[in-house]
Amino acid sequence: MHSLRVKVCGLREEEHVIAAAEAEVDYVGFVLAPSRRQVTQERARELVSILKGCSHHPQAIGVFVNEPTSVVNRAADYCGFDAVQLSGNEHAAYARLVERPVICTVHVTANMTADDVDEAICRTDDMRLGSGLILLDTGLKSAFGGTGLTFNWDIARCVSQSHQVLIAGGLTPANVGELISYVRPFGVDVSSGVERDGRKDASLIRAFVREARRAEQENNHAHTDGS
């Protein structure tokens, strides 16, 4: 049983959904917000059905940005999402109207300190409903996620000591092991880092999960050894 959570986001094609399920990721994200990775509700419903037909079926997460809660709830029901990820500027009163468990995104900008991020996380306490998950992602004015850019891992490490956080932003098969070894987060999230020429790649998905699990195992051995 793995303790590290792995999420692959922005899937649009059946082969990549199956690859993620076969790699035994924990969450698969489907973007319904405006993005080059956006899928229609109809397509998301099809992909969720495929996902739940796999022998290992990760939780299906619908990703939304500043949509009316009525839209979020209808889409979550229609698509069969297990939870929703709020990646915009949503607030606690908004989140209380969402009928699924909520993953809250905290955007970490270049001028933020660990204390700033901690305060931002604490402000999400009333938003997280059943899941309690927080996603830390690189914050840019031009995008709400999927930037392919990292943020300060010292901040991630500090925050991970007191909060269960998924770390996103610029992770790839080449650096996810280093991130996990240094930060020791609750989980990791990848999108652009498993793409080739702007399209998800099954071999990169498998490589990302393999490296994440390797680093998790090394961390567990180090903890058992008392180092």
What pLDDT sits at residue 59? 96
226: exposed, middle or buried (C-beta count within 10 Å: 0-12, 13-18, 19+)? exposed
Distance separating alpha carbons of residues 217 and 143, to the nearest angstrom: 34
C-alpha distances (whole Å) from 219 to each of 2, 7, 8, 112, 167 are 12, 19, 21, 28, 17
- Which pLDDT tens digit goes with each residue over 97-147? 999 999 989 999 989 999 999 988 888 876 665 556 899 999 866 455 555
pTM beyond 0.75, yes or no: yes
Give the pLDDT mean for 169-191.
Answer: 96
Q: Does domain 5-225 have CATH number 1.10.150.130?
A: no
Q: Give the pLDDT confidence score for residue 74 in this predicted structure.
A: 98
The Cα–Cα gap between 46 and 51 comes to 9
What is the residue extent of each domain of the chain? Answer: 5-225
Q: Which pLDDT value is given to residue 224?
A: 57
Residue carrying structure tokens 């930060």: 183
> Which residues, 6 or more positions from 207, have their beta carbon under 8 angstroms from its beta carbon?
173, 194
Average pLDDT, the chain: 90
| Predicted confidence (pLDDT) per residue in 49-75, tens digit | 999 999 999 999 999 999 999 999 999
